[in-house]
Amino acid sequence: MSRATVALTGVGLHTGAPVSVTLRAWDGPTILRVRGLAARLDELAIASTARATTVAAHDGLIRLSTVEHAFAALAGLGLHAGVEIEVDGPEMPLLDGGAAAWCSALAELDARPSLPRLRVAVNATVAVQASRYEFSIGEGIDLEACVDFDDRRIAPVARWTGDAQDFRERIAPARTFALARDVAELERLTLARHVDPRAVVLIAPEAVYCSGGFSADEPARHKLLDWMGDLYLHGGPPMGRVRAVRPGHTANALAMAHALSAGICVREEARDAHPPGAPPSR
């Protein structure tokens, strides 16, 4: 049975801060509400891409980090409108380390899927340092993420072609991962505190440490998941084919900024979505 409101609680991956999130279905565009202030998705700016994606609006009065997993769930389920996200905390909760818990919560809402606003308009390749994004015109959604960790235990490719059920079953469960060589730096910066070990995969030279099973393509699937969350900020994932080689939050942001300014990707009016409106008053 569909519901109008769903609540979640957890702690942030990087801050360790407790956070509560309320998801609401409503007739209007995607809304983020923090400390009583609301901003539409198209009003959010990327404020930081250091280890996660942080968004801000209203001259910094709204600021929220690690939004990519929740946004990936919205993208994977095709919820490009009709959802309000109210957050009490500085960072989205880690939950299960991927997007499965977000998908389960969103599936309870009375929200209707729609097509993305973003589409690939020109065949082109965008290079951002060691990362590369190949854009091709197409009728459907087709994303491919390619990773390169120089590790034979890790499969290099993950792909998603727009099916919501496939996202829920295969992409959403892919957990956050860390390389052993990065752990000391995370500890020095006092990041990744209070992390549930079930939500994280640690890849060390001698073994892969995690709770439950590990699939060789899980890191690539999580990179794809993160990338989908970053694309959602721009109205995507786009209609068309995009192949990302070594995607990362900073490269994702720079590549999309160039793709939009150069007309490689264009935004259209919302299609098959709830009509736009003002955020609900409280």
Question: What does pLDDT average to over the chain?
Answer: 89
Give exposure, 92-118, as e/b (b: 16+ Cβ within 10 Å).
bbbbbbbbbbbbbbbbebebeebbbbb
214 vs 239 pLDDT, higher one = 239
d(CA 185, CA 175): 20
Give mean pLDDT, residues 37-64. Answer: 96
- Among 87-91, 164-168, 206-210, where is mean pLDDT lowest? 206-210
pLDDT digits (tens, 9 = 90+) for 134-175: 999 999 999 999 999 888 899 999 999 999 999 999 999 999
Give mean pLDDT, residues 100-125. Answer: 95
Cβ–Cβ contacts within 10 Å for residue 148, how many?
11
Alpha helices, H only, the chain: 68-76, 100-107, 164-166, 180-188, 218-232, 249-261
Cβ atoms of 220 and 147 closer than 8 Å? yes
Q: What would you report as the CA-atom Rg of the chain, rounded to the nearest whole angstrom?
A: 18
Give mean pLDDT, residues 107-114. Answer: 92
> Where residue 282 falls among pLDDT bands split at 50, 70, 90?
very low
Record the pTM.
0.90
> Where residue 202 falls among pLDDT bands split at 50, 70, 90?
confident
Q: Active site includes 249? A: yes
> Where residue 249 falls among pLDDT bands split at 50, 70, 90?
very high
Strands (E), 147-209: 157-160, 176-179, 200-203, 208-209
Per the residue annotation, which of 14, 222, 249, 274 is the catalytic one?
A: 249
Phi, psi of 237 (to 5 degrees): -60, 150
pLDDT digits (tens, 9 = 90+) for 221-240: 999 999 999 999 999 999 99
Q: Whole-angstrom distance between the N-terminal and C-terminal Cα of the chain? A: 25
Please state the length of the chain: 282
